[in-house]
Amino acid sequence: MTLSSCEQIAGVPSARAAQVAPPERLARVRTFHPRRGRLSGRHLDALDRLWPRFGLTIPTGNTPGRHTPNVGAPARNTTDASAPGWSAPDKDAPGWSAPDEGAPGWSAPDKDAPGWSAPDKDAPGWSVPDEGAPIDLVALFGRRAPVVLEIGSGMGDATAAMAAADPGRDYLAVEVHTPGIANLLALTERHGLTNVRIARGDALDLVRYLLPPDALDAVHAFFPDPWPKPRHHKRRLIQPEHVALLRSRLVPGGTLHCATDWAEYAESMLQTLTADPGLVNPYADYALRPAHRPVTKFERRGTAAGRRIFDLIFHRR
């Protein structure tokens, strides 16, 4: 990848997103698997040309300083002080930034390594989030229209199809998989879509720090990671505190639409969504699959394996 690609996906103009980091004290429990993937020439070209127009970077969790992921580079552990040729990072070097915990190959710093020190919170540029400065969605999309948040857009095919069929609403997709981001950028250009923007990072950080209350017409969470092992259930996206957060960003009457092919997760989703006092279910339990939701890769995979597909559609009171 060219240097410009790395720089462009790493940051966007300050008018689109505040380049700040959430407080170090917050515990990080990720609801997604950071994934690696190969970038084709078409994807690299899309990142180079389209990211500045359609992309924004979500600040990372515990890391002070500016968020600048090393996109497209081979995965490597840059914090192993015993590795051949390792040296402490030069924080005064131009372009240096704190590591991205969600980037492929990232590992926690070795606090026992020679020269390690805790982050300097008094250093120039370090900041905690300004919760009073959310994204200006009108400026981001260039118009005032209802906004749909698409959590985990994958390779972007479903997002592009919905945005093309629904030009009256704007779609803000959130993804951590760089090839998926690049593919959605390419699809956006190919289909001439002006109502799609793509955020790279943790969707919960985006909602928590960069989206104001009552900002969204709908939230889509289609086939999130089911985290089937009981010890991993704390990582599930649909759990009470996350649902309360997502609901708070919906306008009254706004929609929270989830889908899964994992029966136990569907039951957990139904219980969690039903228990939220600010949501109402217009169906007896599970919803019929709406025609406007495209069939996704994960849905096809689940159907091929003989699993039932569950849709859950709730509205904010």
Please identify which residue in the block is written with the tokens 């879509």. 193
The pLDDT confidence band at residue 60, using thresholds 50, 70 and 90, is: low
Total count of residues recorded for the chain: 317
Distances (CA, A) of 138 to 14, 143, 256: 15, 5, 22
Active-site annotation, residues? 225
- Report helix, strand or coil for 256: strand
Contacts of 303 (CB under 8 A, 6+ apart): 261, 309
N- to C-terminal Cα separation, the chain = 47
Give the pLDDT confidence score for residue 146 in this predicted structure: 98
In this predicted structure, the answer to whether residue 101 has a pLDDT above a threshold of 50 is: no
Contact 7, 57 (CB under 8 A): no
Q: How far apart are CA 150 and CA 186, in angstroms?
A: 17
Task: Give the closest residue to 267 by CA, choosing from 304, 228, 299.
Answer: 228
Give the pLDDT confidence score for residue 6 in this predicted structure: 40
Q: What is the pTM of this model?
A: 0.71
In this predicted structure, the answer to whether residue 163 has a pLDDT above a threshold of 80 is: yes
Task: Give the closest residue to 57 by CA, choosing from 176, 215, 154.
Answer: 176
Instruction: For residue 38, count other CB atoms closer than 10 A to its CB.
Output: 8
Give the pLDDT confidence score for residue 132 in this predicted structure: 42
Distances (CA, A) of 124 to 11, 55, 64, 120, 286: 18, 26, 11, 9, 51
Mean pLDDT (the chain) is: 77
Give the pLDDT confidence score for residue 189 in this predicted structure: 97
Contacts of 33 (CB under 8 A, 6+ apart): 225
Task: Give the closest residue to 82 by CA, choosing from 56, 52, 116.
Answer: 116
Give the pLDDT confidence score for residue 39 in this predicted structure: 86
The CATH architecture assigned to 137-316 reads 3-Layer(aba) Sandwich (3.40)
Helical packing angle, 41-54 and 3-10, nearest 10°: 40
Task: Quote the tokens at residue 108.
Answer: 């926690």
Please identify which residue in the block is written with the tokens 């959590």. 151
Phi, psi (rounded to 5 degrees) for 55 = -110, 155
Domain boundaries, the chain: 137-316
Higher pLDDT, 124 or 53: 53
Contact 274, 281 (CB under 8 A): yes
Higher pLDDT, 8 or 44: 44
Give the pLDDT confidence score for residue 4 in this predicted structure: 43
Give the pLDDT confidence score for residue 305 in this predicted structure: 93
Distances (CA, A) of 222 to 235, 298, 302: 16, 9, 13
Task: Give the closest residue to 216 by CA, choosing from 273, 279, 148, 159.
Answer: 148
Q: How far apart are CA 148 and CA 173, in angstroms?
A: 8
